[in-house]
A and B are shown apart, each in its own frame.
Chain A
Amino acid sequence: MSGRIPAIAFSTFREAVRDRVLYNLIFFVLLLVASAPIFGQISVGVERIFLVNLGLTAMSIFGIVIAIFIGIGLVSKEIDKKTLYTVLSRPVRRWEFITGKYLGLAGTLVVNTFLMTLGFYAALLFLTRQLGRADANILVAVYFIILQFFIITGITLLFSSFSTPIESAIYALAMFIVGSFAEDLRGFAAMAHGPQAWLARIASYIVPNLSMLNVITRVSHDQIIPASLIGLNTIYAFFYVTIVVSGAVIIFEFRNLK
């Protein structure tokens, strides 16, 4: 087992980095980051804030797009190309295949984010001429963005384990949007009564709470993110990912592949 998951993960990573769309998206993010100083100049007093907001938002949104559009093909492509049967005819379990696929895409996203972060810091250095301690704080927001990617990748994998790529993309995108309103769902649950309150409360736990993983605006103002939030968000993301990947494994185990 020990070698099979990394092998699948590496193969998924290799396949993902061959995708030209991926490079186009990364290039577009870097282009946006590079143009941020120009946007800052047509405004007043917000050059650095603009760069941080634009850079991190672009990284987050495009990363999520990459996670969804590569994630939806993780299983279906293998089925369409019939390569899945070759893989599963070897001593590879279905759960190992799903876990390996997940880790491969998650790894791809981490490498992408690393590249985009390098580009972002280069733009920041160009704008401010020096990097200070406050700039290191931005890495916390980048870390949270990566946690968002992990969650969205897991959700996409879960949907792609039982539905078509188009359906998976729609469901994952919907989860991303609803996840951005998770705090509002909690607020709605607090105001509602009876079954509606329960439903809203349950829904607020089911959807990923992406708003608490978004600290872009805070780091743009050099606000320090408490260590407790970093720890709790890490734990939350870990459990959420474990749940959705487990769900994907269970569904895939019972899926009729004939």
Chain B
Amino acid sequence: MRRRVVIIACLIAVLSVAGMVSSAHTVYRIRPNDTLHDALFVSSPQAVKKLSLGYSGLLANIYWTRVVQYFGGKHQAGAEEYKALAPLLDITVTLDPHLIAAYQFGSIFLAQPPPDGAGDVDAAVNLIKRGIQANPEYWRLYYSLGYLQYEKRDFKAAAEAFDEGSKKPGAHEWMRTMAALMHAQAGDISTARYLWSRIYEETDDKNIKQNAFMRLASLKVDEEVPQLESAISQYQQRTDRWPASWREMISAGFLKSPPIDPAGEMYLLKPEGRVQVANPKLFRFARHGRPKSPEVP
């Protein structure tokens, strides 16, 4: 008798598990945008801090993790808007004004243009300035500020940030170089290359390293494509027609070999002398060599 009860109970339990998993799965499917995405349960940073009962450090870490998850989820979905990003970051740094990662990474999340970020450089600058106010001796925040001002093309402010940061304890020597470059030749590709090389060498975070690598590769494309297009233009002037292949350019002595992009693939020769990379997704920061919209992935 007891054995029968146990067997029936096990069967019911197994069937219930299957039913529960299947119903939960259906709920998840019909509600793809769950509450984690754009909901702020408590929107006031001060109220959240009070509710933490003094354990604000742990709550800041939890909010920071929520920022990372929110950003990651939106980024993966190719979102164009990151509505809750700035308020979540505000709560995070109110809870713990010394959480450096929130300023450093948060400013990148805010600044990068959609779909790689919220595209709000001003909000990113404000976040970093807040970080500097709370942690005035931390030189890397000045570096982040300098980079953001550089992105805004405000080279004077960028130079000031790099210069100020170079005076802080432990600051790298190249902070001075960056300040000088901002004064002298801020708009040059060489300056951008120097900046991204420093970021690439400096960071331990694999996402930032990858981003810097893509930026450097895009800069190389920005350097090479205009040179190739100039050579094609010369070819057109000499022969009165556009080249049909790289072979023709090589035969005419304009190139020694087919040009290869930083991803190791041959550049594509397009009509009317335009040059394009084979895989534009890999060079989304490049200003040259990408297909015109709406082809852009």
Contact = CB atoms under 8 A, between A and B. Distances in A.
Whether A and B are associated in the same complex: the answer reads: yes
Interface stretch (B19-27, B63-71, B258-266): B63-71
A214 B54 contact: yes
Nearest to B100: A45
Interface in A27-70: 39, 42-46, 49-50, 52-54, 57, 60-61
A44 B205 contact: yes
B105 A216 contact: no
B69 A44 contact: no
A219 B174 CA distance: 31
B28 interface: no
20 contacts: A39-B65, A42-B65, A42-B68, A43-B64, A43-B65, A44-B68, A44-B101, A45-B101, A46-B61, A46-B64, A50-B61, A53-B55, A53-B60, A54-B58, A57-B58, A60-B55, A210-B54, A214-B55, A216-B55, A223-B98
A44 B54 contact: no
Given A45-B101, A46-B61, A57 B205 contact: no
The 5 A-B pairs of least Cβ separation, nearest first, read A217-B57, A45-B101, A43-B65, A53-B58, A53-B57
B53 interface: yes
Judged by DSSP, the binding face of A is helix
Contact of A54 (B54, B61, B207): B61
Given A44-B105, A45-B101, A216 B65 contact: no
Contacts of B98: 217, 221, 223
Contacts of B100: 45
Interface string B39-68: 000000000001001111110110011001
Interface string A72-109: 00000000000000000000000000000000000000
A181 interface: yes
Interface string B60-93: 1100110011000000000000000000000000
B116 interface: no
A46 B69 CA distance: 14
B229 interface: no
Contacts of B69: 42
B61 A180 contact: no
Nearest to A220: B57
Contact of A46 (B54, B56, B99): B99
A57 B64 contact: no
Interface string B87-120: 0000000001011110011000000000000000
A220 B99 CA distance: 10
A44 B106 CA distance: 10
Interface of B: 50, 53-58, 60-61, 64-65, 68-69, 96, 98-101, 104-105, 205, 207
Contacts of A60: 55
Interface residues of A, number: 26
Given A53-B58, A53-B61, 11 more contacts: A42-B68, A43-B64, A44-B68, A44-B207, A45-B105, A46-B99, A49-B99, A50-B61, A57-B55, A216-B58, A221-B98
A57 B58 CA distance: 7
A177 interface: yes
A60 B55 CA distance: 9
A211 interface: yes
B105 A177 contact: no
B57 A216 contact: yes
A46 B53 contact: no
B64 to A, nearest CB: 6
Contacts of A220: 57
Of A53, A181, A210, A220, the most chain B CB neighbours within 10 A belong to A53
Contacts of A45: 100-101, 104-105, 205
B71 to A, nearest CB: 9
Nearest to B105: A44
Nearest to B95: A217
Contacts of A49: 57, 61, 99, 101
A85 B199 CA distance: 74
A15 B98 CA distance: 43
Contacts of A54: 58, 61
Contacts of A217: 56-57, 60, 96, 98
A217 B96 CA distance: 7
Contacts of B58: 53-54, 57, 216
Contacts of A44: 64, 68, 101, 105, 205, 207
A216 B98 CA distance: 13
A60 B100 CA distance: 25
A176 B1 CA distance: 53
Contacts of A184: 50
Contacts of A214: 54-55
- Which of B57, B99, B104, B205: most chain A Cβ within 10 A? B57
A221 B104 CA distance: 15
